[in-house]
């Protein structure tokens, strides 16, 4: 609590926003799995002629914060910079005033950063701290190797090295005292040929003890490490292997050789009993962040468009909705036409009835967009600050087809139906061209007014992925202009014969079915960034020209 308070004061002093565990989303909390990613240095071998010294490393976290690596990490992360500043202040207090309070806080500093129960716990800060500790450990190992030591095992809490000066003593000790004892153990081993230690992770099928003794050693137990188990009494921090830790399979209490009660789940330094509830909570947290959460957040890739799933609730990819959009659009256009014919009217009155049906379709789309409240998302296309709403900022190079999109696709299809009919019925090329250019200009200008002449602005911004009303009007206007230009070049003046677009239009169904069956092999494609609109457009144009 005191470290939380001191850190909160630093955040307030430098005008930073406070945060808490509830402010971290699932993806950020999942980064805790990166914290224990450091693999210890392990040099297997038989060191029979050497003495191995086991050293415990304390204070590595504080030293790492004060090192150059901590300085470099603090320059990249403001929150970590304040953590380093807090540690530096406490260290200076210990050096200058011998403050016992500052010394106690330094002893518990890493425990505070590694505890998910801390008020300002952040897995990213914990990860940065671990990285600094690992860099410092590498420097220590390099220095020891330069001094002639042979590293057997090393992690951020322990260090085993070989002391060559004790070689002769070890040889003498083994030859005079241990050899006879080892030889006398062989009959005892044979008498217990089918007795093997059983650990939580035991998985090897051992059958003969004497044979296993002379074989190359293979650890009989699997490994499941619980990282950063900190003793609340002496502040010893270590990794506990639940499958290989001696004594964890025994009862909580037992008698040693001196008939004294020994607790199995205890600190090896001060024999203080660990909090079993805390260990269980940490175990559940590790299983959740390292196994369950990554599995749930794994990326599902569509075999058709090779793009990842953007929603955890989708059962189908958004690229599968093109035919549904076409079918719904044709259905609604036919409903409008039938409604006009059912009124037994003709001419403009029939068009008015059809238009009324399509206005209902457009009004339904806008009513849902602006009137339906959704938890966590404001109504409309823009947030209160004038920026696009989060639901509006869709990504991907395809259209995420849905019910709202179908409504606007129907409206665009009806625009094509009406303008196409008028275009065919006009007698002269001047009136045909004027109809297309005039209608296109009117729709394009209306769409630009709706978006405020900006892509992400105005009352209804332009967005292809959601088929907004401004997008439909602007694209329809551009389509009218392109059709007018094509009509003049091909039909009126004969400057261009329409190849290859003419052939594509005459074989549209064959091209579509071939592409659906053969994917990118019909007509052809190349490796590209499928999330890029530019590369997809060039690929489509290349296929069309071919």
d(CA 401, CA 407): 11
Q: Rounded distance, CA 285 to CA 28, Å?
A: 14
Question: Angle formed by the axes of helices 123-146 and 78-97, to 10°?
Answer: 60
The Cα angle at residue 466 between residues 462 and 469, in degrees rounded to 5: 50
pLDDT for residue 384: 41
Peptide bond into 47 cis (omega under 30): no
pTM exceeds 0.75 for this model: no
Tens-level pLDDT at each residue, the chain (546 residues):
688 888 888 888 888 877 665 555 444 444 444 444 456 777 766 555 556 777 777 788 888 888 887 778 777 788 888 888 898 889 889 889 888 888 888 888 888 888 877 888 888 888 888 888 888 888 888 887 787 777 777 777 776 665 555 556 656 666 666 666 666 766 676 666 556 666 666 666 666 666 665 565 667 777 888 887 888 788 777 788 887 776 665 555 554 555 555 556 778 778 788 887 888 888 888 888 777 776 666 666 666 566 666 655 566 665 555 667 788 888 999 999 998 888 766 667 888 899 999 999 999 988 888 887 766 566 776 544 334 444 444 444 444 456 678 889 999 999 999 999 999 988 889 999 999 999 999 999 999 999 888 877 788 888 776 788 999 999 999 999 999 999 999 988 989 888 877 887 888 778 777 776 666 666 666 676 666 777 777 777 776 666
Contacts of 19 (CB under 8 A, 6+ apart): 120, 122
Strands 253-255 and 225-230: unpaired
List 56's β-bridge partners, or say none: 158
What is residue 218's predicted lDDT score, i.e. its pLDDT?
A: 67
The pLDDT assigned to 439 comes to 94
- H/E/C letters for each residue in 226-282? EEEEECCCCCCEEEEECCCCCCCCCCCEEECCCCCEEECCECCCCCCECCHHHHHHH
d(CA 262, CA 266): 8
- CA–CA distance, 263 with 253 (Å, rounded to integer): 5
The CA distance from 113 to 122, in Å, is 8
Token pair for 244: 């290989």
- Quote the tokens at residue 36: 């224990």
């Amino acid at each position: 609590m005191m470290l939380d308070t001191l850190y909160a004061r630093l955040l307030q002093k430098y005008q930073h926003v406070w945060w808490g565990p509830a402010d971290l989303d699932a993806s950020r909390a999942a980064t805790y799995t990166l914290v224990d990613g450091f693999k210890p240095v392990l040099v297997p071998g038989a060191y029979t002629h050497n003495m191995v010294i086991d050293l415990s490393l304390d204070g590595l976290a504080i030293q790492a914060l004060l090192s150059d690596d901590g300085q470099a990490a603090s320059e990249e992360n403001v929150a970590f910079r304040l953590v380093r500043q807090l540690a530096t202040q406490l260290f200076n207090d210990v050096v200058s005033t011998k403050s016992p309070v500052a010394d106690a806080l330094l002893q518990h500093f890493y425990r505070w950063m590694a505890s998910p129960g801390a008020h300002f716990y952040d897995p990213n800060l914990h990860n940065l701290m671990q990285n600094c500790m690992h860099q410092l450990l590498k420097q220590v190992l390099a220095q020891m190797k330069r001094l002639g030591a042979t590293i057997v095992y090393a992690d951020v809490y322990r260090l085993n090295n070989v002391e060559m000066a004790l070689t002769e003593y070890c040889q003498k000790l083994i030859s005079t005292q241990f050899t006879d004892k080892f030889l006398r153990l062989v009959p005892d081993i044979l008498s217990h040929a089918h007795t093997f230690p059983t650990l939580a992770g035991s998985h090897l099928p051992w059958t003969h003890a004497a044979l296993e003794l002379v074989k190359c050693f293979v650890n009989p137990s699997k490994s499941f490490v619980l990282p950063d188990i900190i003793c609340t009494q002496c502040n010893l921090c270590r990794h506990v292997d639940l499958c290989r830790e001696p004594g964890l399979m025994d009862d909580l209490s037992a008698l040693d050789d001196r008939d004294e009660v020994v607790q199995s789940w205890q600190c090896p330094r001060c024999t203080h009993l660990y909090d079993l509830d805390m260990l269980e909570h940490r175990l559940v947290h590790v299983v959740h962040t390292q196994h369950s959460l990554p599995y749930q957040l794994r990326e599902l890739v569509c075999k058709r468009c090779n793009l990842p799933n953007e929603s955890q609730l989708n059962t189908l990819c958004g690229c599968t909705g093109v035919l549904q959009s076409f079918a719904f659009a044709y259905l609604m256009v036919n409903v409008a036409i039938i409604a006009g014919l059912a009124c037994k009217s003709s001419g403009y009155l029939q068009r008015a009835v059809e238009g009324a049906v399509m206005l209902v379709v457009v009004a339904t789309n806008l009513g849902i967009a602006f009137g339906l409240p959704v938890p966590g998302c404001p109504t409309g296309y823009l947030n209160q600050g004038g920026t696009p709403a989060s639901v509006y900022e869709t990504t991907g190079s395809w259209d995420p087809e849905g019910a709202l999109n179908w409504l606007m696709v129907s409206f665009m299809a009806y625009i094509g139906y009406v303008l196409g009919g008028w275009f065919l019925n006009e007698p002269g090329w001047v009136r045909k061209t004027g109809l297309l250019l005039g209608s296109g200009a009117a729709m394009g200008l209306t769409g630009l007014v709706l978006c405020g002449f900006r892509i992400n602005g105005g009352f209804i911004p332009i967005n292809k992925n959601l088929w907004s009303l401004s997008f439909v009007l602007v694209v329809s206007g551009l389509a009218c202009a392109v059709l007018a230009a094509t009509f003049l070049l091909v039909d009126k003046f004969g400057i261009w014969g329409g190849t290859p677009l003419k052939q594509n239009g005459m074989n549209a169904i064959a091209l579509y079915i071939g592409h659906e069956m053969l994917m990118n092999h019909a007509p052809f494609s190349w490796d590209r960034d499928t999330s890029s609109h530019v590369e997809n457009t060039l690929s489509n144009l290349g296929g069309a020209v071919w």
